[in-house]
């Protein structure tokens, strides 16, 4: 960025003033402002002109006034610095160059500082901005959106620009489909803070200067608008980050089941056959996907009636088997000036599509050929887009995939040799008249805006129900409207391995409901890889298999009964764990906590756990140790602090130690329950809501003090505001107690209680509150 070559910097602080929770400092024109949004979140903005921009309607963050004013104090120090702070953070504006230091008021520990040559700078001839900070040797940086590579993001440059990376997700890959400019920093004692760059332009976090210990944040335009977030625990940071950018709403319960997808199922008949096979073979499943083959010449909002003669009948028949139908929608609308295709005609007549700065319709290639692109930043366009879904919704389809929404486009027909991915020109106008801007500013939030439209349409059609929407692209805050997947991965062991740190990273960035295509999208999965992928994929927050057209089949049954049994068993374990998983999701929707968590989330002070990315925690109480390499039948598993139980055998082992676990292909992965947990299990189901949770099995895993606790969250599985119940279980001195709060009444059921080394106890009827003595 030009600002790195010829940077201008703020001068000396001329004056400062505090208004309520905000401190302004003038550096001879350029200005820095600090607003304490909450006791632990400080918004620090830098504007070279001294004028701060108004909030955009598409901003992922709420207006400052939405946050109740926290207690704020301020002082001026002897060296001319000015401080403003609350109970969780103190921000010090240094007297020179707009430099900022952020401290923990409780301990005086420095969380962030700019160093002697750092601070904000800008390109006097352009709009690029940078902020240079210290990157202490003992700091690890996690998050930064959708990334390849290990958990710790030090040592690499991370660009935020939504990109359709349709081939090759490898260590050298930079931009991917999503941009989430947020990091969680952790020192070697496990103490954390976070930083979110609230800027939708192309931006970069450069963590390559390990020698100079400098971290550079750069953006192409807008303001350097940063939310600095207090810890000290990862959960504090992620909780605060998601209090700003939003949390995943609780999905409908069925969406926690297995989703079966493939691009390349050509006909309704084939979809019916696949569904029948899933059921005949006892593969638990809750959703089947319709990809672009179902459309007439790949045009959105149409059906290929020859191949899909009766979509409503299909949806109905699938629903009768407990399967939801999920339909893929792309953002490109086929250019059809001759008429006969309402979405194009209407969109063009009303001026809803993007035009270039010269006023010519912006046309690029997507699957159907030349396409026009809706301007989702405009509320009227979003409203129209929502209504384009009306007929689909009337067909019974109420779950969608928003695909190709980076937006992805090529300069020539997709299959023509040499076709290249392109972006709209940066000066392409966007947005409503009162907020007119350019593509450069809104490229990264294009998908978020589309998701708002789609989600709104689903909710309008089915008020009171939780929608399911899956989006490939997104910016910070994506989780509010959609689940997400990691795009077009490929069937390689390396990409199986990569999926774990990638999903753990997304989880830290608020995207709690995420998955990678099980089996790999491109390329051909052999039997062992496929089996291992189902085993791990059953632990992804979103368990969706997907495969590309033209690649070899990878349904669970393609390699015969032996491999199919492994896949089935993996999914059966997921379904048995649903009471626990749903409780984890409910907690995530309230707190922003990741569903699938890196070990550092709970064991950041343990050096052996901190950077582990080949194991993961599902919620707090389960830890999965997948097999990520061919031919392995055992694996080393690191058990953090405490006692851990092998879920398969019940055998206990004490932590801060590694064990060598059996991991035969034909079995279940090594999965461990945390000592101190009570984990609720249900019966195997063909689909999530096939029947009531009966029997409920409580597996008790005592800690070293022979105690354990657990929670079960329940509701009707779909309603937004309906009744719910939370039951807390405790095990102490051999006695198990249950206490239920809430107004949801589960169906009559039996409860089984399993405590290691004791005979199973059964309550024929679960009264909600109960006690079982030894």
Active-site residues, by number, are 403, 406, 488
Contact 550, 543 (CB under 8 A): no
Phi, psi values for residue 357, rounded to 5°: -65, -20
Is residue 152 within 8 Å of 611, Cβ to Cβ?
yes
What does the CA dihedral 691, 570, 255, 546 come to, rounded to 10 degrees? Answer: -140
Tally Cβ neighbours within 10 Å of residue 17: 10
Q: How far is the CB of 517 from ligand GLC (least distance, A)?
A: 7
DSSP 162: -
Q: Which two tokens stand for residue 395?
A: 């067909």
Smallest gap from residue 291 Cβ to ligand GLC (A): 5
Q: CB-side exposure of 257: number of CA atoms within 13 Å?
A: 24
Kindly state the tokens that stand for 474.
């997104």
207/371 with CB nearer ligand GLC: 371
Report in angstroms how near the CB of residue 263 gets to ligand GLC at its nearest: 3
Which backbone phi and psi does 689 adopt, to 5 degrees? -105, 35
495 binds ligand GLC (CB under 6 A): no
CB of 485 to ligand GLC, least distance (A): 8
Helix locations, 350-399, DSSP H? 379-388, 390-395
Among 488, 555, 564, 668, binds ligand GLC (CB under 6 A): 488
Q: Which is nearer to ligand GLC, 225 or 330 (CB)?
A: 330
Residues 6+ apart with CB under 8 A from 449: 58, 376, 377, 382, 442
Name the one residue in this structure whose structure tokens are 């407990």. Answer: 322
What letter does residue 355 receive in the DSSP assignment? B
In this complex, which beta carbon is closest to ligand GLC, that of residue 13 or of residue 290?
290
Question: Using CB under 6 A, which of 9, 92, 455, 546 touches ligand GLC?
Answer: 546
Write out the binding residues for ligand GLC, residues 629-668 only, by CB under 6 A: none
Based on CB atoms, which residue is closest to ligand GLC, 83 or 488?
A: 488
Residues with Cβ within 8 Å of residue 178, at least 6 apart in sequence: 145, 146, 162, 473, 474, 475, 478, 484, 506, 511
Question: Residues 36, 111, 218, 328: which binds ligand GLC (CB under 6 A)?
Answer: 328
**Site size toward ligand GLC, by CB under 6 A:** 10
User: Under the criterion CB under 6 A, does residue 265 sit at the interface with ligand GLC?
Assistant: no
Nearer to ligand GLC, 139 or 302 (CB): 302
Nearer to ligand GLC (CB atom), residue 516 or residue 736? 516
378 binds ligand GLC (CB under 6 A): no
Q: Residue 488 Cβ, how far from ligand GLC at the closest point, in Å?
A: 5
From CA 89, how far away is CA 464, in angstroms rounded? 39
CA distance 10 to 95: 10
Read off the DSSP letter of residue 83.
E
Q: Give residues 154-213 in contact with ligand GLC (rule: CB under 6 A).
A: 166
What residue spans of 350-490 are helical by DSSP H? Answer: 379-388, 390-395, 439-442, 446-461
Are the C-beta atoms of residues 698 and 679 closer than 8 Å to each other? yes
Which residue in the shown chain puts its C-beta closest to ligand GLC?
263
Q: Is 425 exposed, middle or buried (0-12, 13-18, 19+ CB in 10 A)?
A: middle
Min CB(304)–ligand GLC separation in Å: 14
- Interface of this chain with ligand GLC, residues 384 to 403, rule: CB under 6 A: 403
Check residue 487 for interaction with ligand GLC (CB under 6 A). Answer: yes
Helical segments of 16-77, H only = none
Looking only at residues 693 through 752 of this chain, which bind ligand GLC when binding is defined by CB under 6 A?
none
291 binds ligand GLC (CB under 6 A): yes
Exposure string of 176-188, with b = 16+ CB inside 10 Å and e = fewer, is bbbbbbbbbbbbe
Q: Which is nearer to ligand GLC, 46 or 177 (CB)?
A: 177
Nearer Cβ to ligand GLC (292/371): 292
Residue 752, C-beta contacts closer than 8 angstroms, at least 6 positions apart:
695, 696, 697, 698, 760, 761, 762, 763
> What x-and-dash track marks residues 402-431 binding ligand GLC by CB under 6 A?
-x----------------------------
Nearer of residues 237 and 328 to ligand GLC, judged by Cβ: 328
Report the nearest approach of ligand GLC to the CB of residue 450 (Å): 15
Q: Smallest gap, in angstroms, from Cβ of residue 486 to ligand GLC?
A: 10
Q: How far is the CB of 166 from ligand GLC (least distance, A)?
A: 6
Per the DSSP assignment, residues forming a β-bridge with 646 are 672
d(CA 571, CA 565): 10
Distance of CA 497 to the CA centre of its chain: 18
Sign of torsion over alpha carbons 741, 746, 749, 753? negative
Nearest distance from C-beta of residue 521 to ligand GLC, angstroms: 6
From candidates 292, 473, 514, 755, binder to ligand GLC by CB under 6 A:
292
Tokens 């290249």 identify what position? 420
365 is a site residue for ligand GLC (CB under 6 A): no
**Rounded to whole angstroms, what are the CA distances from 229 to 159, 430, 757?**
21, 32, 46
Nearest residue (CB) to ligand GLC, 263 versus 352: 263
CB of 497 to ligand GLC, least distance (A): 20
- Pick from 131, 263, 353, 731 the residue near ligand GLC by CB under 6 A: 263
Asked if 472 touches ligand GLC (CB under 6 A), the answer is: yes
The nearer residue to ligand GLC, 152 or 403, going by C-beta atoms, is 403
Contacts with ligand GLC by CB under 6 A lie at 166, 263, 291-292, 328, 403, 472, 487-488, 546
């Amino acid at each position: 960025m030009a600002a790195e070559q010829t940077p201008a910097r703020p001068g000396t602080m001329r004056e400062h003033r505090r208004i309520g929770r905000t401190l302004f400092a003038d550096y001879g024109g350029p200005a820095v402002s600090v607003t304490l949004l909450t006791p632990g979140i400080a918004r620090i903005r830098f504007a070279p002109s001294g004028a701060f921009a108004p909030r955009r309607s598409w901003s992922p963050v709420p207006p400052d006034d939405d946050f109740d004013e926290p207690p704020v104090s301020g002082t001026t120090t002897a060296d001319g610095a000015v401080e403003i702070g609350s109970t969780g953070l103190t921000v010090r504006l240094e007297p020179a160059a707009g430099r900022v230091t952020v401290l923990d008021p409780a301990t005086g520990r420095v969380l962030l500082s700019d160093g002697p040559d750092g601070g904000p700078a800008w390109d006097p001839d352009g709009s690029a901005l940078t902020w240079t900070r210290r990157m202490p040797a003992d700091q690890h940086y996690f998050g930064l959106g959708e990334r390849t590579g290990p958990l710790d993001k030090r040592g690499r440059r991370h660009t935020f620009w939504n990109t359709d990376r349709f081939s090759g997700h490898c260590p050298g890959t930079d931009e991917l489909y999503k941009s989430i400019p947020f990091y969680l920093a952790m020192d070697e004692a496990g103490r954390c803070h976070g930083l979110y760059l609230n800027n939708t332009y192309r931006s970069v976090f450069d963590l390559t200067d390990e020698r100079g210990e400098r971290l550079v944040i750069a953006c192409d335009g807008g303001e350097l608008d940063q939310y600095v977030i207090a810890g000290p625990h990862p959960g504090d940071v992620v909780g605060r980050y998601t209090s700003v950018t939003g949390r995943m709403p609780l999905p409908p319960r069925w969406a926690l089941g297995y989703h079966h997808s493939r691009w390349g199922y050509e006909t309704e008949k084939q979809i019916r056959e696949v569904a029948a096979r899933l059921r005949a073979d006892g593969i638990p499943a809750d959703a089947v996907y319709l990809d672009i083959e179902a459309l007439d010449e790949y045009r959105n909002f149409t059906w290929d009636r020859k191949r899909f003669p009766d979509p409503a009948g299909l949806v109905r028949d699938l629903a009768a088997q407990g399967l939801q139908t999920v339909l893929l929608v792309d953002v490109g609308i086929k250019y059809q000036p001759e008429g006969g295709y309402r979405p194009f005609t209407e969109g063009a007549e009303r001026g809803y599509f993007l035009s270039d700065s010269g006023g010519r319709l912006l046309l690029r290639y997507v699957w159907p050929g030349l396409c026009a692109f809706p301007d989702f930043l405009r509320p009227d366009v979003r409203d129209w887009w929502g209504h384009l879904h009306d007929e689909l919704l009337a067909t019974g389809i109420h779950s969608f995939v928003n695909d190709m929404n980076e937006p992805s486009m090529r300069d020539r027909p997709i299959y023509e040799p040499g076709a290249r991915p392109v972006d709209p020109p940066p000066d392409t106008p966007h947005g409503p008249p009162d907020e007119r801007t350019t593509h450069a500013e809104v490229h990264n939030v294009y998908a978020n805006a589309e998701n708002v439209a789609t989600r709104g349409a689903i909710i309008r059609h089915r008020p009171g129900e939780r929608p399911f929407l899956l989006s490939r692209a997104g910016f910070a805050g994506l989780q509010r409207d959609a689940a997400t997947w990691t795009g077009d991965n490929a069937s390689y062991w390396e990409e199986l391995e990569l999926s774990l740190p990638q999903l753990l990273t997304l989880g830290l960035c608020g995207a709690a409901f995420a998955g990678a295509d099980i089996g790999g999208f491109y390329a051909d999965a052999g039997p062992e890889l496929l089996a291992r992928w189902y085993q791990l994929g059953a632990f992804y927050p979103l368990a969706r298999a997907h495969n590309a057209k033209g690649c070899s089949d990878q349904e669970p049954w393609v390699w015969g009964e032996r491999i199919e049994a492994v896949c089935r068993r993996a999914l059966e374990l997921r379904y048995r764990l649903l009471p626990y998983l749903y409780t984890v999701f409910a907690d995530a929707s309230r707190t922003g906590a990741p569903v699938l968590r890196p070990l550092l989330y709970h064991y950041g002070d343990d050096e052996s756990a901190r950077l582990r990315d080949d194991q993961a925690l599902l919620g707090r109480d389960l830890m999965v140790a997948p097999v990520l390499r061919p031919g392995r039948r055992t694996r080393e598993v690191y058990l953090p602090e405490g006692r851990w139980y092998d879920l398969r055998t019940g055998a206990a082992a004490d932590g801060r130690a590694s064990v060598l676990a059996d991991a035969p292909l034909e079995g279940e992965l090594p999965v461990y329950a945390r000592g101190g947990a009570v984990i609720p299990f249900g019966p195997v189901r063909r689909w999530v809501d096939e029947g009531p949770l009966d029997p409920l099995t409580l597996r008790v895993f005592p800690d070293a003090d022979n105690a354990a606790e657990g929670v079960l969250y329940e509701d009707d599985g779909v309603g937004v505001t309906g009744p719910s119940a939370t039951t807390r279980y405790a095990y102490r001195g051999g006695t198990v107690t249950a206490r239920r709060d809430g107004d949801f009444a589960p169906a009559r059921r039996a409860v089984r209680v399993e405590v290691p080394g004791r005979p199973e106890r059964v309550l024929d009827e679960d009264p909600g509150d109960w006690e079982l003595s030894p």
